[in-house]
Structure 1
Amino acid sequence: MPINKAVLAAFKAATRLRPDIKEFYKAQRVAEDLSARLALPNPRCRVDDITAPMPDGCALPLRVFTPLDIDFSLAEEFKVTEDFRGTVLFFHGGGWVNGDVDFYTDACSAMALRLERRVVSVDYRRAPEHRFPQAPEDCYEVARQLHAGELLADVDADHIVLFGDSAGGNLAAVVSLMARDRGEFLPRTQMLLYPVTYNDHDPVTSYFDSVRENGEDYLLSSRDIRGYMELYASSPADLHRPYFAPLLESDLSRQPRTLVVTAEYCPLRDEGEVYAQRLADDGGDVQCYRMLDAVHGYLLYPSVFNIVRDTYRIVKQFLDGDPLVQEGEPTWLGLLGTD
């Protein structure tokens, strides 16, 4: 159903009262840490903390979510077995500045159970303490190790999926570009949820109408995005690098099979959809869907919300190879409601 007037008014008030992210990000981290402590473990998902060694000596934290099949019968008593069909390497959102594996624990548990896949969540180093290109380099090295069988012994490289939301969607796309360019491995599948793909979010100069239409009243503002980018970039020149803004890459060939999901009321909507179109134009196998009546960041909503359930339905059907649209309909952009 469409966003009702009361919810829209609340969105507008919250967005316009929010202070400059460059001054507010530390307070937001504190709020996220408090929220994460309230998360209750799901008994159907085992959670393990491991680390990945980085080239500079850092032991990068990872959190592994393994869905479990729990069976209790009088004959066999209580039996718990692992139950997954592949591995999702997940890069969290938060503007490269906020968010972490703790804040995304509920979302990753739900992801593992709904997709019937193990999820490896990467606690990449965040800006502004660690500016570009630290985050993509961290994510790339974890992906390389996972594909090489160095992190988890039972991983099938053909069934590894790169997945990220917002800034994490940017990182998933960038890791795929880095993998193609460096030649050490090549991901087969990537999924980008309302990703950041471009470098200009000024309503006056942006190419994209969604920046002007959705940049003030829907929680994530165009000012927020510009602030995050200022905290993330090491220098102004970084904004013009394809590993910072992958839509700047002139050649998007030899990229993984891709799913892009955007949100109707998100300022990043158009650049995500254009990225999907560019991938398709360069020969990629791409599906793109716009979730109607949705705002940026909805992956973190409780999984009982229709918008979250619909998104997992799209993702699961994409991963399982089941058709979402009728034969002959375009698959690069579908408009899906949340009734």
Structure 2
Amino acid sequence: MAINKWMKAALKALTYSEPDLKKNYKLYRAVNNVVVTPVKGIYKMNDYKIRLRGAEIPVRIFTPKERTSDEAFLFFHGGGWVTGNIDSYTKPCASLANATGRRVLSVDYRLAPEHPFPCGLNDCYQAARTIFKNSGAFELEKKDIILMGDSAGGNLAACVSLLARNRGDFAVKRQILLYPATGNDHSDDSEFLSVRRFGKEYLLTSKRIRDYIDLYLPDKHDLNNPYFAPLLAEDLTRQPQTMIITAEYDPLRDEGEAYGKKLREQGNQVVIHRMKDALHGFFTLPQRFVHVKKTYQMIEDFLLEEKE
């Protein structure tokens, strides 16, 4: 359904009624952590911890009731690197597992500002490295591990893939990035039309994106770091087969699509879909919503095509 004038008015009211993020990020976390328990019986859930020097990284493993594939998603949640966790993403991950017949391994990386860049990225990388290196312990083959994330999680997935190639620790075959953050310019004068056109009245504002980044990046020199903004990476060769899904009314839309085009220009296999009439964050809606159903079908088509 297109956004009519009544819906746009409601979005505008919701956008301007939000509390200041930088002063109230703990409030945002509390709201995000209100968990709606998924329907029982459709999946099995196990918690696992990857122990590193000085830290433990929780991983929640969702197994669908009807498992139809040996593949599994290694999932990094969204929330601007500041909010969200495996509890607030239990329902989307359980629904993803159930809808696709594949297991989901959801990583609970540490959040900014208490743990700023590159802490969250390092947690995701170390979790991925451990799972790839010990894939047999997770009843997986390396080729069947698919990196996936939404928003800031899409950013982290892209950066883990880039880091994995540069370090040579493991090889990522496929990645799925949902409305990822890939750039570093979310100002009113941004080069990206979507930032200028949809950055004020469509729930996720350009100001809130900048606030998230301020909390995540205390050192502003890191704005140009490709492990924060992978769109800035000069060398994007030897990256995974990639599917990027963006949202039509999302300020991050154009940078996500630009990243996909740059990957393609440097020789990678890339599929880019723009979800019509969608807002940022649509993947976390209940499974009955049309955009969520379409996403599951796009994922299935992408994974089947890559096998052929």
Greater CA deviation, 4-13 or 273-282? 4-13
Q: Which residue matches 2:42?
A: 44
Change (3 A) 1:126 1:151: farther
Distance across 1 between alignment mates of 2:278 and 2:38 = 26
Structure 1 stretches lacking a partner, 5+ long: 70-81, 324-339
Q: Which residue matches 2:200?
A: 216
Letter in 1 for 2:137: L
Q: Which residue matches 2:103?
A: 118
Q: Show the 5 A alignment for 1:150-189.
A: 152-189=137-174
Greater CA deviation, 298-307 or 3-12? 3-12
Answering whether residue 15 of structure 2 is matched by residue 18 of structure 1, we say no
Deviation at 1:83, TM superposition (A): 4.6
Deviation at 1:311, TM superposition (A): 1.0
Distance across 2 between alignment mates of 1:251 and 1:322 = 23
Deviation at 1:110, TM superposition (A): 0.6
Distance across 2 between alignment mates of 1:150 and 1:53 = 16
Q: Which residue matches 2:9?
A: 9
Q: Which residue matches 2:232?
A: 248
SS at match of 2:98: helix
Distance across 2 between alignment mates of 1:121 and 1:262 = 21
Distance across 2 between alignment mates of 1:177 and 1:185 = 11
Superposition CA RMSD, Å: 1.4
Answering whether residue 278 of structure 2 is matched by residue 281 of structure 1, we say no
Distance across 2 between alignment mates of 1:153 and 1:170 = 25
Say which of 48, 51, 58 aligns to 1:61. 58
Deviation at 1:319, TM superposition (A): 1.0
What TM-score does the superposition give when structure 2 sets the normalisation length? Answer: 0.96
8 Å contact from structure 1 (residues 196, 245) kept in 2: yes
Between structures 1 and 2, the one with greater helix share: 2
Deviation at 1:234, TM superposition (A): 3.1
SS at match of 2:267: coil
Q: Which residue matches 2:242?
A: 258
Deviation at 1:148, TM superposition (A): 1.1
Answering whether residue 188 of structure 2 is matched by residue 190 of structure 1, we say no
Distance across 2 between alignment mates of 1:114 and 1:227 = 34
Distance across 1 between alignment mates of 2:37 and 2:210 = 31
8 Å contact from structure 1 (residues 52, 59) kept in 2: yes
Letter in 2 for 1:16: Y
Q: Show the 5 A alignment for 1:25-104.
A: 25-33=25-33, 35-36=34-35, 38-54=36-52, 56-69=53-66, 83-104=68-89
Deviation at 1:322, TM superposition (A): 7.5
Letter in 1 for 2:159: V
SS at match of 1:170: helix
Letter in 1 for 2:112: A
User: What count of residue pairs does the alignment treat as equivalent?
Assistant: 307
What TM-score does the superposition give when structure 1 sets the normalisation length? Answer: 0.88
